[in-house]
Amino acid sequence: MTGIVELDDVHKTYRTGTITFEALRGITLSIAEGEYIAITGPSGSGKSTLMNILGCLDVPTDGTYHLGGEDVSRMSEKDLAVVRNKRIGFVFQQFNLLRSMTAQRNVELPLMYAGVGARERHTLAREALERVGLGDRTHHRPGELSGGQQQRACIARALVTNPDIILADEPTGNLDSVSTHDVLTLLHELHDQGRTIVLITHEHDVAMEAQRQVQIYDGLLSEGAHV
Amino acid sequence: MNPLETVRTAFTAVMGRKMRSALTMLGILIGIASVMLTVGLGAGAQKSITDQINKLGSNLLIVTSGANTGLTVNNSSASNRTRFTAPLTLNDATALADKNNCPDVLRVAPVSTTSTTAYVGTTSATTSVVGTTPDWLGVRARTVTTGRFFTTGESSTGSLVAVIGSTTASNLFGTAYPIGKTVTLTGQSFTVIGVLDTVGSTLSGNEDDQIVIPSGTYAQRFSTSTNMNTVTMILLEAKDKDSLSAALQQATTTMYVMHNVTALAPDFSVSSQQALVETIGSLTTILTALLSGIAGISLLVGGIGVMNIMLVSVTERIKEIGLRKALGARPSVIMLQFLVEASMLGLMGGALGIALGFGGGQLLSKAIGYPVIISVAATALALGVSLVIGIVAGVYPAWRAAKLAPIDALRNE
């Protein structure tokens, strides 16, 4: 077991009454540390389910998932929360920044749940915001930032805990071409600095930015991008 | 997440929805304020009644004729009520004052009262006339502010002297100095020798509007009975609070002998103020409890309001909850966040309610001329109750928030 992410024959079955739906039908995937991988697939392919399991937001029905050497496939919600906090940095399509808080406080949020003291939190959040080029926007609320800036704040929030992987779910889905370019450049830079990045997208151009492409179709994975 | 951050997060959430939070707090506010006002009014009423009773004199026992009040030492049977009742006399008073009979009785004052019209020149005023002995002053815990009280000698010889209340003085003499002036009662001229201190009203009427004259004089000039020595009642002052019940027993025994009656068929009663204070005290307590119960219902309604708003808040913030969970908030942390938010609503509402209770109490007390007593204990209790209401109302919504699955919550638009 060498990769930072090791999925072994992962199944996910949803049951609604008498109807059962197999969203994932045996996914085996290994992601090495420092890899930049894009997962593509049309809607209904099981892409979101895979992303939820990779993000420890859900657990597989069958198979195992090791994240950073730790088996997270049978964990309780309480333990998963800790794993998400320590090991995963989320970047969402909708940004999901809390509107009542400044960019600074938003970035501090995961550190708060990690129990980091106020002073250290402050420094780390500031550094992360400077890293994404928002050093002069720390006290702005999300409503006062452009879409691209909000997504960069979101990336800062994903970086601040120094996670094992950065999981970016359609990060450019809500952005114009200029901001898309900014965000993709930023992800590239992070990769160059040794970060492991998992990019989930349905856009071919975006997927091609990554070092490696895998495609999901009908709950099964195949290497390469054929969108 | 440390407690300070939890409180800060809750505070931000409460302040982020000012109008709604304010309306939610209003329910608790009104509930707490009304309970505090009711309890305050009850305590005030009790104190004012107790004060009035105590104003009659401390450690006071009252001997009255007849055995039919509820506050007697001996309950009479129905057959005794129609029986001939011997009146109280000055002889009874003398016997009660005898230290051999009643060692625990400090002072004795026989009292006879009637209503009459007093004249000073062309000025007249209806007032009550009290015939008694010099011990009355001590028994009733009164003082003479101007002039002097009459002496034992004057009392027994029937001197035509009068000590008047402060209201009577201003009614009859206006601002003029009354000492040495003459007041006419039933055609007889009395010389005013003293003016009593001002004490206000008690349960037995306006204590400042009366004319006190020697018992001997009263017997000669006012007595309507065949026996001139008849008195309306006899006031006894026990040595101290602890000897009150002993004094009551001694007085009762003495009266049995004097009136030649037994405990089965008494024709008098000896009552202590203590009994009266206790009876009235328990009455006001019951009344206060009843009214607070009614006011408490509004607190319950306020609590339901908090719960309702918290449920709405959880539904509205599903996405926020999802995000917080994705970022690593454990279910217990989410639970705590919403619990603290609900308690904050309760506590803030409670604090404002206490403020309103205080303010309202001050105004009400001015309006009705009657103290409204809001104690520290009541305030602390009110604060505690509002906190508990907040927590109880917050439990279910907080639990719902805590058990939300992060994917469902995140997906919610």
Q: Is the pLDDT of residue B358 over 60?
A: yes
Shortest CB distance from A98 goes to which of B320, B332, B405?
B320
Q: Is the pLDDT of residue B70 over 60?
A: no
Q: Is the pLDDT of residue B71 over 50?
A: no
Q: Is the pLDDT of residue B320 over 70?
A: yes
Confidence of residue B284 (pLDDT cuts 50, 70, 90): confident
Alpha-carbon span A32 to A211, nearest angstrom: 12
pLDDT mean over A197-210? 90
Q: Are A135 and A115 in contact (CB under 8 A)?
A: no
Alpha-carbon span B244 to A145, nearest angstrom: 82
pLDDT mean over B267-292? 82
Q: Is the pLDDT of residue B77 over 70?
A: no
Q: Is the pLDDT of residue A83 over 60?
A: yes
List pLDDT tens digits, range A132-174.
999 999 999 999 999 999 999 999 999 999 999 999 999 998 8
Q: Is the pLDDT of residue B388 over 80?
A: yes
Q: DSSP character for A34?
A: T
Q: Is A106 helix (H, G, I), strand (E, B) or coil?
A: helix
Q: Is the pLDDT of residue B412 over 90?
A: no
Q: Is the pLDDT of residue A193 over 70?
A: yes
Q: Chains A and B: how many Cβ contacts under 8 Å?
A: 60
Confidence of residue B282 (pLDDT cuts 50, 70, 90): confident
Shortest CB distance from B328 goes to which of A52, A100, A110?
A110
Averaged confidence pLDDT in chain A? 91
Alpha-carbon span B85 to B21, nearest angstrom: 70
Nearest alpha-carbon partner for A161 in A84, A224, A105: A84
Q: DSSP character for A144?
A: G
- CA quadruple B96, B101, B102, B103: dihedral sign: positive
To the nearest whole angstrom, how far is the Cα of A211 from the nearest Cα of chain B?
26
Residue ranges per structural domain of chain A? 5-223
Alpha-carbon span B289 to B17, nearest angstrom: 36
Alpha-carbon span B193 to B359, nearest angstrom: 47
Show the tokens assigned to B268.
Answer: 């008098």
Q: What is the pLDDT of residue B373?
A: 86
Task: Residue A85: list chain B partners with CB under 8 A.
Answer: 327-328
List pLDDT tens digits, range B326-339.
999 999 999 999 99
pLDDT mean over B173-187? 89
To the nearest whole angstrom, how far is the Cα of B332 from the nearest Cα of chain A?
8
SS3 assignment for chain B = CCHHHHHHHHHHHHHHCHHHHHHHHHHHHHHHHHHHHHHHHHHHHHHHHHHHHHHCCCCEEEEEECCCCCCCCCCCCHHHHCCCCCCEEHHHHHHHHCCCCCCCEEEEEEEEEEEEEEEECCEEEEEEEEEECCHHHHHCCCCEEEECCCCHHHHHHCCCEEEECHHHHHHHHCCCCCCCCEEEECCEEEEEEEEECCCCEECCEECCCEEEEEHHHHHHHCCCCCCCCEECEEEEEECCHHHHHHHHHHHHHHHHHHHCCCCCCCCEEEEEHHHHHHHHHHHHHHHHHHHHHHHHHHHHHHHHHHHHHHHHHHHHCHHHHHHHHHCCCCHHHHHHHHHHHHHHHHHHHHHHHHHHHHHHHHHHHHHHCCCCCCCHHHHHHHHHHHHHHHHHHHHHHHHHHHCCCHHHHHHCC
* Distance from the Cα of residue B180 to its chain's centroid: 40
Nearest alpha-carbon partner for A84 in A48, A122, A113: A113
Task: Give all strands of the β-sheet with A212-217 in edge-to-edge order.
Answer: A88-91, A165-169, A196-201, A36-40, A212-217, A220-223
Q: What is the pLDDT of residue B1?
A: 66
CATH of A5-223, one of 2.30.30.90, 3.30.450.20, 3.40.50.300, 3.30.310.50: 3.40.50.300
Chain A residues with CB within 8 Å of chain B CB: 52, 55, 57-58, 77-78, 81-82, 84-86, 90, 92, 96, 98, 100-101, 109-110, 112-115, 157, 161
Nearest alpha-carbon partner for A224 in A53, A46, A51, A38: A38
Residue B358 burial by CB count (10 A; 0-12/13-18/19+): exposed, middle or buried?
Answer: middle
Show the tokens assigned to B354.
Answer: 């206490």
Confidence of residue B67 (pLDDT cuts 50, 70, 90): low
Shortest CB distance from A58 goes to which of B1, B323, B407?
B407
Confidence of residue B293 (pLDDT cuts 50, 70, 90): confident
To the nearest whole angstrom, how far is the Cα of B23 from the nearest Cα of chain A?
21
Helix ranges restricted to H, chain A: 47-54, 77-87, 103-114, 118-131, 147-159, 177-192, 204-207
Shortest CB distance from B331 goes to which of A78, A98, A109?
A78
pLDDT mean over B332-358? 93
Which chain B residue has its CA at the smallest distance from A100's CA? B16
Amino acid at A160: V
pLDDT mean over B377-396? 90
> Which residues 319-338 of B have a C-beta within 8 angstroms of A?
319-320, 323-333
Rounded to two decimals, the pTM is 0.72
Alpha-carbon span A93 to A78, nearest angstrom: 25
Q: What is the pLDDT of residue B413?
A: 59
Which chain B residue has its CA at the smallest distance from A78's CA? B330
Task: Residue B324: list chain A partners with CB under 8 A.
Answer: 109, 113
Alpha-carbon span B306 to B342, nearest angstrom: 7
Confidence of residue A223 (pLDDT cuts 50, 70, 90): confident
Judge whether B3 is closer than 8 Å to chain A, CB to CB.
no
Q: What is the pLDDT of residue A164?
A: 92
Averaged confidence pLDDT in chain B? 85
Instruction: Give the pairing type, strands B230-231 and A196-201.
Output: unpaired
Q: Is the pLDDT of residue A64 over 80?
A: yes
Shortest CB distance from A113 goes to which of B13, B327, B410?
B327
Shortest CB distance from A100 goes to which of B2, B16, B324?
B16
Q: What is the pLDDT of residue B156?
A: 80
Confidence of residue A60 (pLDDT cuts 50, 70, 90): very high
Task: Residue B405: list chain A partners with CB under 8 A.
Answer: 58, 77
pLDDT mean over B60-81? 59
Alpha-carbon span B78 to A95, nearest angstrom: 89
CB contact under 8 A, B320 and A109: no
Residue whose tokens read 């004319």: B211
More confident residue, B68 or A147: A147
Judge whether B344 is closer than 8 Å to chain A, CB to CB.
no
Confidence of residue B75 (pLDDT cuts 50, 70, 90): very low
Q: Is the pLDDT of residue A30 over 60?
A: yes
**Report for B82-96, B108-122, B200-214: range of highest mean pLDDT:** B108-122
Q: What is the pLDDT of residue B224?
A: 74
List pLDDT tens digits, range B192-229.
999 999 887 766 678 889 999 998 888 888 877 777 78
Please report, rounded to a whole number, the percentage of residues in chain B having pLDDT higher than 70.
93
Residues in chain A: 227
pLDDT mean over B15-21? 89
Q: Are B210 and B129 in contact (CB under 8 A)?
A: yes
Residue B400: count other Cβ atoms within 10 Å of its Cβ.
Answer: 18
